[in-house]
Amino acid sequence: MKRILYVGNNLKSKNSNVSSIQVLGSLLKQEGYTLHFASSKVNKVLRLLDMMFTFFKYQRHVDYVIIDTYSTHNFYYALIISQLCRLFKVNYITSLNGGNLPARLKRDPFLCGLIFNNSYVNVTPSLYLKDAFENYGYPNLVYIPNTIVIDNYTIAPKSFDTIKLLWVRSFAKIYNPTMAIIVLKTLIDKGYTAELCMVGPDSDGTLQDVIEFANELKVPVTITGKLPKSEWIALAKNYNIFINTTNFDNMPVSVIEAMALGLAIVSTNVGGIPYLLANEVDGLLVQKNDMAEMVNAILNIVTHQADTKRRILNARHKVEFFDWETIKQKWNAVLT
């Protein structure tokens, strides 16, 4: 089996969600690949230095370097490590994770070219990013969706007598968590029995803002903070509607998991979401930051339950094709 250095945000703090390096890395190890990881350092400068140190330590002993590639400050990790790979003639694979990467392609064409024109393969988990990269002329694109182990997700029958909303994401401004609070407040003001549970770590200090906003509006919100995956999957059985309020997105695993769990889904229509969810087929899509439209979509779920159940089954059927037993064949093809 091939030997791999996987470079990304391998963080395990209370302020970070499980990342692709942890999910994919673990699954590749189970398949028999030898993996080394960088980096788990919380401080960004130390993380970069650790990535570089680990590269020099293993560059002669690995066949590939996989680099998780994001659109914001972490973009520069990918830039530096990819150029080290070029210098030392190590094949590297970019794993494109940033939902706002198309903006980066437009803003920094030279730096992007250094990374993506010289990679062994650019792996995209969404057709949204595949289209964007193709439009900028980048080669070596391979579509490999984010993956789950489908056997870990079972559908429990849902009742829609009351509205039980679940939100799962990092508390960060780009994911617009306050929208969920306003949606709940609007539903209650309209006379509906509704509740909201929000699950996720505090990424940028937004969590406290959300708590204060909920208190200001006097709406009951359950905020669990970060939960292990098994715990939030178990928690999801108590809810019937998953809301995704983000302003930017790629192919979020939390939405894939909600589809697998049989939750009715309402999401903003941004980034890669419309490539994952077809409106009125396996979910309902609304415009970014449109509170009224999201409220109406939630009420549609409650009042048209036959359509809701059809969409739930369609969503589950779609994500069954994202099961690791299927997706691992695509990774094996890249890594052989």
**In terms of domains, do 103 and 174 share one?**
no
Residue 16 has pLDDT above 70, yes or no: no
Q: From 58, 59, 63, select the one nearest 3 (Cα to Cα).
A: 63
Q: Is 94 within the bounds of a domain? A: yes
Average the pLDDT over 138-154 and give the result.
93
Q: What is the mean pLDDT of the chain?
A: 94
Pick from 144, 168, 203: which residue ends a domain? 144
**In terms of domains, do 282 and 314 share one?**
yes
**In terms of domains, do 52 and 181 share one?**
no
* CA–CA separation, 123 and 6 (whole Å): 14
Residue 245 has pLDDT above 90, yes or no: yes
The structural domain count of the chain equals: 2
**In terms of domains, do 231 and 106 share one?**
no
Confidence class for position 72, pLDDT limits 50, 70, 90 = confident
Alpha helices in the chain (DSSP H): 20-30, 44-58, 75-87, 101-107, 109-116, 127-135, 178-189, 206-217, 229-235, 253-260, 273-276, 291-303, 305-319, 324-335
DSSP 3: E
Residue 25 has pLDDT above 70, yes or no: yes
Residues of the domain holding 126: 3-144
Q: Which two tokens stand for residue 152?
A: 């870990």
Q: Which two tokens stand for residue 111?
A: 């730096």
Average the pLDDT over 175-182 and give the result.
96
Q: Is 288 within the bounds of a domain? A: yes
Pick from 117, 144, 171: which residue ends a domain? 144
Pick from 121, 144, 167: which residue ends a domain? 144
pLDDT at site 3: 97
Residue 274 has pLDDT above 70, yes or no: yes
Q: Is 217 within the bounds of a domain? A: yes
Q: Is 327 within the bounds of a domain? A: no
pLDDT at site 165: 98
Average the pLDDT over 310-334 and give the result.
96
pLDDT in tens, 31-46: 999 999 999 998 999 9
Confidence class for position 142, pLDDT limits 50, 70, 90 = very high
Q: Is 20 within the bounds of a domain? A: yes
**In terms of domains, do 91 and 134 share one?**
yes
Contact 135, 103 (CB under 8 A): no
**In terms of domains, do 92 and 124 share one?**
yes
Confidence class for position 80, pLDDT limits 50, 70, 90 = very high
Q: Count how many Cα atoms sit within 13 Å of the Cα of residue 134 in the half-sphere of its side chain.
A: 11
**In terms of domains, do 98 and 246 share one?**
no
For residue 157, with 0-12 CB atoms within 10 Å meaning exposed, 13-18 middle and 19 or more buried, which class applies?
exposed
**In terms of domains, do 195 and 286 share one?**
yes
Q: Is 330 within the bounds of a domain? A: no
**In terms of domains, do 209 and 181 share one?**
yes
CATH of residue 84: 3.40.50.2000
Confidence class for position 187, pLDDT limits 50, 70, 90 = very high
Q: Is 336 within the bounds of a domain? A: no
pLDDT in tens, 58-70: 999 999 999 999 9
Average the pLDDT over 303-328 and give the result.
96
**In terms of domains, do 76 and 187 share one?**
no
Confidence class for position 14, pLDDT limits 50, 70, 90 = low
Q: Is 332 within the bounds of a domain? A: no
**In terms of domains, do 171 and 94 share one?**
no
Give pTM, 2 decimals.
Answer: 0.91
**In terms of domains, do 12 and 78 share one?**
yes
* CA–CA separation, 311 and 278 (whole Å): 10
